[in-house]
Amino acid sequence: MKKKVLSVLLASAMAAASLTGCATTGGDSASTAADTPTAETTAADEASGEASTEAAASTEAPTGDTIKIGVSAPITGSLALYGESGKNSVEMAVEEINAAGGVLGKQLEVVEFGDDQGDSTQAVNIYNKLVSEDVVAIIGTYTSSCSIPMGERAQEEGMLLISPCATNAKLTLIGPNIFRACFIDPVQGPMAAKFAKEELGASKAAIIYAKDDDYSNGLHESITQAWADYGLDMVYEGECTTKDVDYSAQASQVVASGADVLFYPCFLDTVPILVQQVREAGFTGAIVGCDAWDCSDTTGKEEYFNNTYYTNHYAPQDPSEAVQNFVASYTEKYGTDSLTSAGACYYDATKMVAQAIEASGTGATADIIKAMTGMSYEGVTGSFTLDENGDPSKPITFVEFKDGEPVWKANVEPE
């Protein structure tokens, strides 16, 4: 895996982060963009006294020799590895699509790979720029905190948005223009809890989550609810932020709670820090992470990652033909350093858009939306049909660290 790149990113994150530990109690959860009206809709509502209406999707078929799509990904910043993998995978998918004849007799064109940097404001700026380029659909983006405000704008303007990796359930509830290629947190969370109970034999759980992140808040909610549904004990709930690098206070509380499993639903740049500090505090139980753990840097910390697991969208060791074909093609073009599950999801999202464009018969955004609604698809991250919300029901991959290396354990169908 890309350990050298991640080490650089981790060093940068630590240098920029506050050196104080995060709070373990109190404070409000980060509000989600899906719960809060945008500045534009609020102003319009106050002026008219009525709720704003959603714009109709374009019914105009694209002209010229190409059909344009836009892509947003965190190409720089702490999540740059995922953005690089996503960009590479979209390029690979488009190359394959065009080599096979394109869509509707035209070539598929990516007008721009917008770098949202994992920042919600930048994500909206990228969305606006992509729309100005006359795209028929937008693929983006990686995080829920960025995808949700993009989804709000897309729904207002009738644009098709498909997020490859945003798992917060609120995204697709914004409206019928919004889809995703990945599983959702209300599925991922319970499956992680079930795994901890049935496969790891856990009975007392602790969780540390980032209160300033939509993704982490969504998983916190779904994991704790699932744990309660199993009739088991959640003995400690700790908060942090996405910028923290000192978890000593929370680590002490986890050990004191008597927990035999710790959930940490946060992103890869903080995972090595958290795992090391919790282990050094004396916690010997299992640690269970989430899909944002993919490609976490374990260099020099391999022993701390023993008895550590995470959920994911796929694993390159999965022997399925679709996975092995993707891995072989990606490796030949780009090597293995940036081979991530984000890439697999961006690849599938691109192929889903192409399939919907072809099925639309026109290439008009309104018709592509109709074609994607309820579509069935077979890809690298599974075979699935989109439900009434635009979400796929698909298997969840479980990965285990062995000697610091992630190893495919199983693909499990959701209940």
Strand pairing category for 204-210 and 261-263: parallel
How far apart are the C-alpha atoms of 28 and 233, rounded to whole Å? 23
Can the peptide bond before residue 66 be classed as cis, meaning omega within 30 degrees of 0?
no
pLDDT (tens digit, 9 = 90+) per residue, 107-137?
Answer: 999 999 999 999 999 999 999 999 999 999 9
Token pair belonging to 402: 């062995």
Nearest alpha-carbon partner for 331 in 165, 92, 97: 92
Band (90; pLDDT cuts 50, 70, 90): very high
Note the pLDDT of residue 314: 94
Burial category of 275 from C-beta neighbours within 10 Å (exposed 0-12, middle 13-18, buried 19 and up):
buried
Which residues neighbour 147 within 8 Å (Cβ) at sequence distance 6 or greater? 123, 140, 141, 161, 163, 166, 168, 171
Band (54; pLDDT cuts 50, 70, 90): low
Band (341; pLDDT cuts 50, 70, 90): very high
User: What b-and-e string marks burial along 202-220, b requiring 16 or more CB atoms within 10 Å of the CB?
Assistant: bbbbbbbbbbbbbbbbbbb
| CB 115 within 8 Å of CB 78 | no
Average pLDDT over residues 180-202: 93
| CB 139 within 8 Å of CB 90 | yes
Asked whether the predicted pLDDT for residue 329 surpasses 80, the reply is yes
Asked whether the predicted pLDDT for residue 22 surpasses 70, the reply is no
How far apart are the C-alpha atoms of 58 and 70, rounded to whole Å? 16
The full set of domains in the chain, from first to last, is: 20-30+186-312 (3.40.50.2300), 66-183+320-394 (3.40.50.2300)
Nearest alpha-carbon partner for 174 in 41, 360, 334, 10: 41
